[in-house]
């Protein structure tokens, strides 16, 4: 079974448009769980433009019943301290996904470049895996959001990551350009790149995750890849939720991720 991580940053973006209290991120998380999400993902950005420290604290304190909190963050000292403190206090987050972060970007643009900064990454990963004497017992699963390339996978393994989340943006763009026709353009090649990187991650003892720009049209081929354990999806689910409600939008995505047989 593939797990779905639902990214609820956009719910907080809407709330921050009025600096108010609604829509509530915690309520969004509960609706996503009722729809079948097994992971709730939030990106605590340096500028706190959507998710706030208070959101992460409440989610960490509240999510239960096997639902995991995945904290996306930059590999900075500030963020590592926050993750360790939350983990000690609440036993969550259960997972940290390290992402690159630029202030002006609309969303995470590229993958993390692990090649060349492996020594620094190794220290960060080791601190997070150590967990600082966490209540939940042990440290967090640490995932690297990277491009689907052998060089990045090998570097992630050397840095000690538990998992690689492969950037599916290039696949999604190729899918849109070909209208979903695998006989046209580079969509087949882009899917193969993700598949091959996933297989390489497995061979090096890491878990295979994927995410970014996945939607109701393009998700099936990615969900069908060998060994993929988690998909992380935000924008398309929250967009659909505007019309159908979040629970139903998540349930529909979970249904599409199930094997076709
Ligand atoms: N995975 C990571 C690491 C991300 O940064 C994001 C975007 O916040 C996603 C998945 C979800 O991407 P999307 O919103 O395009 O589904």
Cα 92 from Cα 69, distance rounded (Å): 6
Distance from chain centroid for Cα 90: 20
pLDDT for 136: 57
What pLDDT digit, counting tens, does each position of 124-168 carry? 999 999 976 656 557 899 999 999 999 999 999 999 999 999 999
Predicted local confidence at residue 134, as pLDDT: 59
* Percent residues over pLDDT 90 in the chain: 90
Instruction: Output the pTM of the full model.
Output: 0.95
Model pLDDT for residues 19-73, shown as the tens digit of each residue: 999 999 999 999 999 999 999 999 999 999 999 999 999 999 999 999 999 999 9
Domains of the chain, first to last: 3-260 (3.20.20.70)
| Span 168-210, pLDDT tens digits | 999 999 999 999 999 999 999 999 999 999 999 999 999 999 9
Select which of 90, 212, 230, 232 is catalytic: 212
Angle (CA) 152-163-229 rounded to 5° is 120
Q: What is the pLDDT of residues 94-128, one digit of tens each?
A: 999 999 977 666 666 789 999 989 999 999 999 99
Q: Out of 3, 4, 5, 7, give the residue to mutate to test ligand 1, the one with the largest number of ligand atoms within 8 Å of its CB.
A: 7
Which residue in the list 72, 101, 190, 230 is annotated as catalytic?
A: 72
Give the integer Cα–Cα distance in Å for 96 and 213.
20
Cα–Cα distance for residue pair 109/88, rounded to 1 Å: 31
In order of 49, 62, 71, 79, the CA distances from 13 in angstroms are: 7, 21, 16, 20
C-beta of residue 108 within 8 angstroms of C-beta of residue 43: yes
Known catalytic membership, residue 252: no
Catalytic site includes residue 72: yes
90 is catalytic: no
DSSP the chain: --EEEEE-HHHHHHHHTTTSS-S-HHHHHHHHHHHT-SEEEEE--TT-SSS-HHHHHHHHHH--TTPEEEEEE-S-HHHHHHHHHHHHHHS--SEEEE----TT-SS--S----TT-HHHHHHHHHHHHHTTS-TTSS--EEEEEE-S-HHHHHHHHHHT-SEEEEE-HHHHHHHHHHTT-TTSTTHHHHHHHHHHHHHHHHHTT-EEEEESS--TTTHHHHHTSTTEEEEEE-HHHHHHHHHH-HHHHHHHHHHHHS---
Contacts of 151 (CB under 8 A, 6+ apart): 115
């Amino acid at each position: 079974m593939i797990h779905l991580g639902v990214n609820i940053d956009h719910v907080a973006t809407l709330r921050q448009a009025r600096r108010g209290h609604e829509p509530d991120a915690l309520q969004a998380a509960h609706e996503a769980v009722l729809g079948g999400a097994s992971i709730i993902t939030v990106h605590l950005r340096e500028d706190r433009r959507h998710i706030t420290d208070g959101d992460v604290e409440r989610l960490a304190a509240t999510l239960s019943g096997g639902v995991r909190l995945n904290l996306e963050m930059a590999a900075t000292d500030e963020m590592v301290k926050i993750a360790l403190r939350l983990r000690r206090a609440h036993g969550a987050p259960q997972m940290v996904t390290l992402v690159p972060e630029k202030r002006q970007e609309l969303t995470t643009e590229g993958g993390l470049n692990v090649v060349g900064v492996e020594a620094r990454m190794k220290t960060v990963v080791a601190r997070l895996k150590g967990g600082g004497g966490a209540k939940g017992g042990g440290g967090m699963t640490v995932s690297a959001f990277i491009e689907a390339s052998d060089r990045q996978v090998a570097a992630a393994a050397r840095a000690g990551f538990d998992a690689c989340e492969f950037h599916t943006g290039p696949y999604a763009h190729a899918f849109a350009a070909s209208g979903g026709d695998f006989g046209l353009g580079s969509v087949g090649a882009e899917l193969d790149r993700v598949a091959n990187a996933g297989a390489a991650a497995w061979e090096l003892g890491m878990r295979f995750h994927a995410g970014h720009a996945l939607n109701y049209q393009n998700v099936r081929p990615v969900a069908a890849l060998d060994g993929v354990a988690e998909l992380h999806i935000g924008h398309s689910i929250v967009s659909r939720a505007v019309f159908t409600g979040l629970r139903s939008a998540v349930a529909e995505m979970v249904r599409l991720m199930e094997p076709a047989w």
